[in-house]
Amino acid sequence: MVPQDYGFFIDPQRCIGCRSCVGACAECGTHRGRSMIHLDEMDRFDSPQTVPTVCMHCEDPICAQVCPSDAIKRSEDGVVHAAQKPRCIGCQNCELSCPFGVPLVFSGLEQMLKCDLCYDRTSVGHKPMCATVCPSQALLFVRKDEVTNLRHNKPLRDFLIGSVRVKTKNAIMVPDPETPLHLDAALLIDGGL
């Protein structure tokens, strides 16, 4: 069981785009060679902002709702697992429906794989591999009550995506709206602060 008092917090503001998480995820004992993390550049023209995406482990996962073969299970501790191999038919419903774009059906494998919060590690008291290695701690796995002491931005677990309300186990750290975004060097030189 993953301890209930621990949480996974994603803080894109701190992400430095180094892809340590991507590299380390692929070293995992259960999906060796393949990474279950997506790391996207938002728009390199404008900014070096990058965003890591892992499964948000929804309370009522849409991927599981739409799975015709009931292959996607959520365990009691709130972790949504990759599709079970004997049941998964590789139909890609989960891939198409996930509001966060997380599950991937791998060609040749005909099975959906996704982040399972490093269940092999977190169920025995370790942190997920990505959160352990993340150099800037943009991926953080700590006791939930610690976050307010550690960070001054706030965790968000309740999303309205279109008309759908999605509650998640994992949280996104929302940046302070006052955070400056000096991204165009030319404007800075021209006099903007």
Partner 1 sequence: MSTLPLSQDQLRAQFGPHLNLAPPGGWLADPTPDKVVETHCCFCGQQCGIKLKVKDNKVIGFDPWEEFPFNQGKLCPKGVKRYLQGNHPDRLTKAMKRTENGFEPMDWNEAMARTTAEIQRIQQQHGKDAFALLSGVSLTNEKSYLAGKFARLGLQTRNLDYNGRLCMVSAGAGNKKAFGVDRAANSWADIELAEVIWVTGSNVAECSPITTDYIWRARDRGALLIVVDPRITPLARTADLVLPLKPGTDSALTNGILHLLHKWKLIDWDFVSAHTQGFEEALEAVKDCTPEWTSQMTGLPVEAIEKAARIWGEAKTSFLLHARGIEHQSKGVENVLGCINMVLATGRIGRPGCGYATITGQGNGQGGREHGHKCDQLPGNRDISNPEHRKYICSVWGCTDEELPGVGQSAQEIMNAIHAGEIKGLMLLCFNPLVSLPDSQFTREALSKLEFFVCLDFFLSESAQHADIVFPSALHEEDEGTTTSAEGRVIKINKAVDCPGDARPDWQIMVELAKRLGRGRFFDHFTSPEAIFNELRVASKGGTADYAGISYEKIVKNMGIFWPCPTEDHPGTPRLFEGGKFFHPDGKAKFIPTPWRPPMEVVDDDYPIWLTTGRVVFHYLSGTQTRRIGFLVEQCPHPYLEIHPRLAEKYGLVEGDAVEITSRRGTMVLPAKVVKTIRPDTVFIPYHWAGALSANRLTARHLDPVSKIPEFKVSAVRLKKTTKDQFSPELADLQRMAFEARSTQSQMPEQVF
- Looking at 47-100, list the stretches that DSSP marks H as alpha helix, in order from N- to C-terminal side: 62-65, 93-97
Annotate each residue in 36-75 with x if it binds partner 1 (CB under 8 A) or - if it does not, as one string: --------xxxxxxx-------------------------
Element (H, E) at 160: strand 154-161
Q: Is 68 helix (H, G, I), strand (E, B) or coil?
A: coil
Residue 116, classified by CB atoms within 10 Å of its CB into exposed (0-12), middle (13-18) or buried (19+), is buried
Under rule CB under 8 A, which residues in 86-105 are in contact with partner 1?
Answer: none
**Contact status: 145 vs partner 1 (CB under 8 A):** no
78 or 175: CB nearest partner 1: 175
Smallest distance from partner 1 to CB 193, Å: 6
Residue 132, classified by CB atoms within 10 Å of its CB into exposed (0-12), middle (13-18) or buried (19+), is middle
62 contact partners, CB below 8 Å, separation of at least 6? 97, 98, 99, 164, 166
1 or 188: CB nearest partner 1: 188
Element (H, E) at 105: strand 104-106
Annotate each residue in 105-144 with x if it binds partner 1 (CB under 8 A) or - if it does not, as one string: -xxxx-x-x-------------x-x--xxxxxx-------
Pick the binder of partner 1 from 8, 76, 91, 183 (CB under 8 A): 183
Q: Is 188 helix (H, G, I), strand (E, B) or coil?
A: helix
161 or 183: CB nearest partner 1: 183
Q: What is the size of the binding site for partner 1 (CB under 8 A)?
A: 57
| Residue 5 DSSP label | T
78 or 89: CB nearest partner 1: 89
Query: Considering only CA atoms, which of 114, 124, 95, 120 is closest in space to residue 170?
Result: 114
Pick the binder of partner 1 from 124, 160, 164, 186 (CB under 8 A): 186
Smallest distance from partner 1 to CB 74, Å: 20
Q: Which residues bind partner 1 (CB under 8 A)?
A: 13-20, 22-24, 26-27, 29-34, 44-50, 85, 106-109, 111, 113, 127, 129, 132-137, 150-152, 179-186, 188-191, 193
